[in-house]
Amino acid sequence: MPVKEKKQAPPPEIAQGRHPMEKYLRTDRIPHIWCAGCGLGTTVSSFLYAMDNLGLDPDSVAVISGIGCTGRVAGYVRMDSYHTTHGRPIPFATGLKLAKPDMKAVVFSGDGDLFAIGGNHFIHAARRNLDINVICVNNLNYGMTGGQAGPTTPLGGRCTTSPYGNFEHPFNLVYLAASAGAPYVARWTSLDVRRLQRAIEEMLVRKGFAFLEIIAPCPTNYGRRNKLGEGLDELRYYAEHAVIEHGADPADTEILPGKDFLVGKFVDEEEPTYWEMYQDKVAELEGGRR
Amino acid sequence: MPGKAVLSGVHFMNGDEAIAEGALAAGCRFFAAYPITPQSEIAERLAARLPRIGGVFIQMEDELAAMAAVVGAAWGGDKAMTATSGPGFSLMMENLGLAVMTETPCVVANVQRAGPSTGLPTAVGQGDMMQARWGSHGHYELIALCPYSPQEAFDLTVRAFALAERFRSPVLIMTDEVVGHMYEKVEIPAEVVEARRRTPQVPPEGFLPYKPDEDLVPPMACAGEGYRIHVTGLTHDERGYPDMSADAQDRLVRRLCEKIKRYPDEYTLWEEHSLEDADVAVISYGISARVALGAVELARKKGIKAGLLRLITTWPFPNEVVRSLAERVQGMVTVEINLGQMSREVERAVQGKVPLGGVYHAGGRIHRPEEVLAGIEEVI
């Protein structure tokens, strides 16, 4: 649907056919490919509001995505944006960030991209405490390819490759990230738009590896096959079952179907970053500089 | 380790170290790799050297990550490189394709060992030559250079960075374990001209990141320069935006190939030995060419007019060089440490004009000159 040109001055906040944060969007690429009821739109909005609220220069932020529905985020933001290969946005961001240490590198990708094919890169970037933000939109399955089971699909979840119900244990991403050494770990749902925005603001201004999991509906695939209703019904589910508990033990943050689950900020520590430690080492050497 | 980038002067070093020094001299300031034999000396030298000259060395968790990081660093504005051997080269194929598709200048060195699979991890091979050409999926062109001495390893690495920037393409250095571990004199010149990246000549408004210049290569806007471009491995238009049409695909892939194929004179390097009056031409590259040269001398002593065509650039294959040679000789013998890979290209170029032979070995050692001599005698 083309963006409508309005003759009258639009209301300040929301104008029909316009996104309030469109200065950060590639409007010439709208409409996006995401389904009605998908959580990705609000997720990207929260990110852009966070950028705006911090007054960040878009030229100082690079967005890097992998492959999949969330992998398309990079294609819609008007910043230096890289749509890389499946599972590799973190190592790509590693190179970019080390070449341009003054820029912020934000990895925006999905649960399959970051934790199945790219899982190894995630734990090593967390271990190194690289200065990158990783935002994982977890919709419990591979949406782009038609709803296959993934590393976060709950036990019993019906997917096109788990037609009789998933019998593999899923990852708890919060616990995984904390175990790998991530100094900032948070989880929210795509219903919590203001909290998401605040979390992303925190990530954008802090140093070191920061991880945010966003639980988001996939009504077209996971929701439909598991009779979770429309996207709105899934948001209602979050409202009923997501319990805020900042500082909870990451081991207690497992997500089980039909049960309450924890959201909040679980880890927020200051650790020397990869770049700080690299700089310290260089300073020890004669003639070292960067 | 010294704190200057260009170690001008005469050194005694091996081929791996020469590649590392060539990279630094060419302006490489980012190197990511994963440990593998027989590439170790490249990574180890750069781990010691780069932090002292304002660069970054990072050992990644695997070769997938190493190649991805190199592509990312190139978009961050650095001249970037990785180095590996067979098994790691296999893993790099994925993001080598990304570099081709996104037109990312970078250099990959493969110090070949004997495969398939783990094969002979510490012994020589040349079995990755076709993988270098076709290993990543889809149709593409790239440039591959094969040094046959540590000096040439240095020189060709410098050249590789220049070609990578010139064509906005990954460039491969397809060396081998013997050249990698061979110690010889390496002379590093007083000055090395760093390759320049082609930057946009227009302001961000109206800049089309994949609109090529007349020579089919587009200028490159890197991260943080204000161009806010989108870069994707998907088929894309001149804006860099995905375009899922067959037309866009055909247009893009043809341009990616043509931008390299159109300028063979800029990268096709070869060397001729005793070919002026030769009846038989030996065709070889890398360490095998060095053995072949000895065989040519043995043949000459026996009164056989043999000569050597040493391919320095193996990809794109120098069809014209081989084809015109076929008009001057009575037979050709390809010598390589695999069971016949570049020999297929020779066959295609020669098109049956002269009888062809091949002296092959699956790897683990270099040829003996006598084996090559026997191959020469067989073809006449």
How much is the ipTM here? 0.97
Cβ-in-10-Å burial (0-12, 13-18, 19+) of B371 comes to: middle
**Are A82 and B232 an interchain contact pair (Cβ–Cβ within 8 Å)?**
yes
* Cis peptide bond upstream of B105, omega within 30: no
**CATH of segment(s) A22-289:** 3.40.50.970
Residues 151-180 of A with CB under 8 A from B: none
Quote the minimal CA–CA distance from A202 to chain B in Å. 22
Q: Measured between beta carbons, which residues in chain B are less than 8 angstroms from residue A289?
A: 54
Contact (CB<8Å) A92/B72: yes
Task: Inform me whether the pLDDT recorded for B101 exceeds 90.
Answer: yes
Task: Decide yes or no: CATH 3.40.50.740 for domain B269-378.
Answer: no
Residues in A closer than 8 angstroms to B229, CB to CB, are: 80-81
Contact A219, A229 (CB under 8 A): yes
Does B362 score more than 70 pLDDT? yes
Chain B nearest C-alpha distance from A80 (Å): 4
Summarize the confidence of residues A85-94 as an average pLDDT.
98
Contact between chains at A82 and B72 (C-beta distance less than 8 A) = yes
Q: What is the DSSP letter of A155?
A: T
Residue B370 pLDDT grade (very low, low, confident, very high; cuts 50, 70, 90)? very high
Q: Which residue of A has its CA nearest to B225?
A: A59
Q: Do A95 and B30 touch (CB under 8 A)?
A: yes
Distance from C-alpha of A101 to C-alpha of A279, rounded to nearest angstrom: 11
User: For residue A120, which residues of chain B lie inside 8 Å, CB to CB?
Assistant: 61-62, 65
Judged against a pLDDT cut of 70, whether residue B227 lies above it is answered with yes
The mean per-residue pLDDT over the stretch A11-29 comes to: 80
Statement: residue A144 has pLDDT above 50: yes
- Give the residue from B4, B62, B71 with the most A CB atoms within 10 Å of its CB, the best one to mutate: B71
Confidence check: pLDDT of B336 > 90:
yes
Rounded to the nearest integer, the mean pLDDT of chain B is: 97
Contacts 24+ apart (CB under 8 A), B366-370: B366/B124, B366/B178, B366/B287, B366/B288, B366/B290, B366/B291, B366/B337, B367/B288, B367/B291, B367/B292, B367/B295, B367/B335, B367/B337, B368/B291, B369/B291, B369/B292, B369/B294, B369/B295, B369/B298, B370/B295, B370/B298
Contact indicator for A232, A149 with CB cutoff of 8 Å: no
- A288: confidence class by pLDDT, cuts 50, 70, 90: very low
Domains of chain B by residue range: 1-267, 269-378
Q: Out of A29, A78, A278, whose CB is closest to B228?
A: A78
Residues A58-79 have pLDDT tens digits of: 999 999 999 999 999 999 999 9
Contact criterion met (CB < 8 Å) for B69 and A97: no
In this prediction, residue B120 carries a pLDDT of 97
Residue B229 pLDDT level (bands cut at 50, 70, 90): very high
Residue A290 at interface with chain B, using a CB cutoff of 8 Å: yes
What pLDDT, in 10s, does the model give residues B241-294?
999 999 999 999 999 999 999 999 999 999 999 999 999 999 999 999 999 999
**Structure token digits, residue A104:** 């912020």
Homologous superfamily of B1-267: Thiamin diphosphate (ThDP)-binding fold, Pyr/PP domains (3.40.50.970)
Inter-chain touch B80–A95, beta carbons under 8 Å: yes
pLDDT at A286 (0 to 100): 64
What is the pLDDT confidence band of residue A18, given thresholds at 50, 70 and 90? confident
pLDDT at B122: 96
Verify whether the Cβ–Cβ distance A95 to B53 is below 8 Å: no
**Global pTM value:** 0.96
Task: Give buried/exposed letters for B337-361 (b at 16+ CB in 10 A, else e).
Answer: bbeebbbebbbebbeeebebbbbbb
Asked if A282's CB is within 8 angstroms of B51's CB, the reply is yes
A120 lies within 8 A of chain B by CB: yes
